[in-house]
Amino acid sequence: MRHPWFIRAAQRMNSISFATQVLQFIVTGLTVGAIYAMVAIGFNIIYNVTEIINLAQGEFVMLGGLVMVFMHVSVGLPLVPAFLSTIFLVMLVGIVMDRLGIRTIRKPSVMTLIIATVAVSIIIKGVAMLLWGKSPYDLPAFSGRTPIQLGGVVVQPQYLWVIGFLIVVAVGLTYFFNRTILGKAMRACADNPSAARLVGIDVEKMVLLSFALSAAIGAVAGMTMTPIALMDYDRGAMLAIKGFGAAILGGLGSFPGAILGGLLIGLIESLGAGLLLSGYKDAYALIILLAVLFVRPSGILGNLQVTKFKRF
């Protein structure tokens, strides 16, 4: 049944225009993508120094969210101290993971170490389940929940926090790896551990640092996403998969690649869900990922020359 023209016009007034819709998809996609990008950066830091794919990366994100809920909501610390203490605690988990789970393994090969990270992720998840139970937790948004209207496009203030923290992390890491002695030492370990050791770099300390750093970035991702999506103990694996996909898409080991990959996957999911069938949105991202790998096996910004030297 077709309504008369004036009803249709009224309906159109009530609804939103196609351009606004697309803009809304992009805003949402960038936000979700920024979370994936932060997870992907975490993968890259550890991969660059140790060649391990740390499959517990998603667990750092989950812990970040839940510890923040504990600090901010249960203990009642103000936002900034809660934020900093959460980063500190999750970093500690990363350090303990390296000390107990990674370094103690005899005759380590890259593969056994990756399997060890799977074990660690299961342990972290189990402990989180015991501590927090199985129900999801909410965190108050950092600066209120009143959405910002930008000509029909709705932006939650928390979206800006997520994207803002991605920028902070990206700028901070660029500075750290290019301008500081410590960062350069970590890069040296990545390029050639034996040579790094010969010039007096403590490789084991650098590995430890890489775990601490990626745990911290995971925690930031978790804390910023919890006000949007809630957090429960079971969330880590999905985030790890999405973040890993982003890292591969951008080129494993490349930081600009991780950001590009994360944002791309977020955008594809959001636009795919909005414009095409929403049931297949994960498939769209994976199809693009496969297509890119057919053309460029090293990912968009990855360097094939470099990956040939890697053991994994």
Partner 1 sequence: MMGKKVAAVLLACLLVGGFAISPASAAYKIGALFSVTGGASFLGDPEKKTAEMVVEQINKAGGINGEKIELVVYDDEGDATKCNLFAKKLINQDKVVAVIGPSVSGLSLAVVPVFEKSRTPLISCAASYKIVLNEKSGKPYPWIFKTAQSDSHAVEAIYTQMQKMGISKIAILTVTDGFGASGRQELLRLADQYKIAIVGDEKYDPKDTDMTAQLTKIKGIAPQAIINWSVGPTQVTVMRNWRDLGMQKMVFFQSHGFANRKNIELAAGAAEGVYCPLGACNVAEVLPDDHPQKKVTMDYMQSYMAKYNEPLSSFGGYAWDALYLVADALKAVGPDKAKIRDYLENRKNFIGQHGVFNFSPDDHNGLSKDAFQMVIVKDGDWVLAE
Helical spans, DSSP H, in the chain: 5-14, 18-50, 57-69, 79-96, 110-132, 157-179, 181-191, 193-198, 203-229, 236-250, 255-275, 281-295, 304-309
Tell which one of 108, 282, 286, 307 touches partner 1 (CB under 8 A): 282
31 or 50: CB nearest partner 1: 31
Using CB under 8 A, pick the residue from 138, 191, 202, 204 that binds partner 1.
138
6 burial via Cβ count (<10 Å: 0-12, 13-18, 19+): exposed
Nearer to partner 1, 92 or 238 (CB): 238
Phi-psi region of 253 (alpha: psi -120 to 50; beta: other; left: phi over 0): left
Q: Which of 73, 108, 136, 296 binds partner 1 (CB under 8 A)?
A: 136
Which one of 72-80, 84-92, 197-205, 270-278 is the stretch in contact with partner 1 (CB under 8 A)? Answer: 270-278
Shortest Cβ distance from residue 293 to partner 1 (Å)? 22
Phi, psi (rounded to 5 degrees) for 135: -85, 155
39 or 301, CB closer to partner 1? 39
Instruction: Find the shortest distance in angstroms from Cβ 193 to partner 1.
Output: 36
| Residue (of 256, 239, 270, 268) closest to 299 by Cα position | 256
Q: Two tokens at 249? A: 């898409």
Q: Does 142 bind partner 1 (CB under 8 A)?
A: no
State both tokens at 155: 């932006």
Our CA dihedral for 61, 62, 65, 69, rounded to 10 degrees, sits at -160
Q: Does 50 bind partner 1 (CB under 8 A)?
A: no
Nearer to partner 1, 35 or 52 (CB): 35
Closer of 15 and 112 to partner 1 (Cβ): 15
Measured from the CB atom, is 33 or 183 closer to partner 1? 33
User: Is 232 a binder of partner 1 (CB under 8 A)?
Assistant: yes
Fill in the per-residue mask, 93 to 132: x = in contact with partner 1 (CB under 8 A), - = not in contact: ------------------------------------x---
Q: State which residue, 59 or 232, has the beta carbon closest to partner 1.
A: 232
What is d(CA 225, CA 32) in angstroms, rounded to the nearest whole number? 9
Amino acid at 136: P
CB of 226 to partner 1, least distance (A): 10
DSSP annotation string for 54-83: -TTHHHHHHHHHHHHHIIIIII---HHHHH
CA distance 49 to 57: 15
Shortest Å distance, C-beta 83 to partner 1? 20
DSSP state of 107: S
**Nearest CA to 263 among 36, 41, 43?**
36
Residue 264, interface with partner 1 (CB under 8 A)? no
Q: How far is the CB of 251 from partner 1 (least distance, A)?
A: 24
Tell me if 283 contacts partner 1 by CB under 8 A: no
Interface residues toward partner 1, by CB under 8 A: 11, 14-16, 18, 21, 24-25, 27-29, 31-32, 35, 129, 134-138, 140, 145, 147, 149, 154, 156, 225, 228-232, 234-235, 238, 269-271, 273-275, 277-279, 281-282
